[in-house]
A = this chain, B = another copy of it.
Amino acid sequence: MKAFNDLADFSTEELEALLALAGRLDERPEPTALRGKVLSLLFLSPSLRTLASFQAAMTRLGGGSFVISPDMSIHGLETRPGIVMDGAAAEHIREAVPVIASYGDAIGIRAFAERKNLDRDLADAEFESLVELVDTPYINMESAIGHPCQNLADWKTLDDYDIPANGGKFVLSWAYHPKALPLAVPASTLYTAARRGMDVTVLRPEGFELPEPVTTKAKSAAEASGGSITETDDRVAAMQDAHVIYAKSWASTRHYGDRLNDQELRNALDDWCVDEPWFDNARKDCRFMHCLPVRRGVVVSEAVLDGPRSIVIHEARNRMLAQMAVLHQMLGAES
């Protein structure tokens, strides 16, 4: 495996093999599988789960990792192309990235969306410019538009809780958050649930419609897998008979990159906090998922988050297992 960037790059058989391997590595550890192997971890955006779970994953497979983030570097990293570097930054990403990559057998890179220009973020322009600098296999640890490690972990979580693929009803719901967050998780989660063959409803207020290329890609996956996609702002209709609600906030796509208008639209929507009444017409055992971090009392009520519907801790632990499977296939002897 040369890259783990998007579940769309893998056949269904390949995805099933990764999911099976993730489960097997949980039950039967392989503490020498990646002996002497090194994973470089480059964080251009903050992290907790990804930072911890990748380090743990490499240790469990007998290898190791190192972490670089710009605050560790000499006066930060310059990212702008073609610049005369007579300011504060002493190193350019064009040297830093290939050098960091050269110390590892693979590299994980995180770079959140710039959230200025929607087309640029949809094209994953910054992440693509970074991986172009790398000769080793690489892993997307969340880019402007993708979060494949989260997606694979979520797929495993749905399997673990016996939530049906075909016929399973998956609600991807926008939720209130004081900030305009990236599209990476909602866009790639929509694709993932559709790819799994689920009937997906995107529940969001007006002004927060998912971009057309995101929906088109997911619809194409749904058609191939026997799933479906609908989009609505009608909470009651969306939650009818739902097996799972996946909450996530994201920036207004109507006002993408326009902080003031996004804020004005968002401010009126603080009742979009997932709470027990949302589940009135859902399936009785409807589950609550979220990629974390999550703001309590803002995105979701304490009652839901601390109650039996919530499977967010299991979901977060699956990050480690999913990544172990990816690393094993990318760096293992049989790769």
Contact = CB atoms under 8 A, between A and B. Distances in A.
A85 B35 contact: no
A268 interface: no
Contacts of A86: 178, 295, 297-298
Interface string A235-257: 00000000000000000000000
Contacts of A295: 85-86, 90, 92
Interface residues of A, number: 66
B52 A40 contact: yes
A103 B320 contact: yes
Interface string A62-106: 111110100011110010001111100011101110111011100
B66 A297 contact: no
A46 interface: yes
11 contacts: A36-B60, A46-B74, A48-B73, A48-B99, A59-B63, A59-B64, A86-B295, A95-B312, A98-B313, A102-B316, A102-B320
B38 A31 contact: no
A301 to B, nearest CB: 10
Given A94-B306, A293-B95, A302-B82, A29 B36 contact: yes
B316 A99 contact: yes
A293 B74 contact: yes
A294 interface: yes
A56 interface: yes
A52 B103 contact: yes
A317 interface: yes
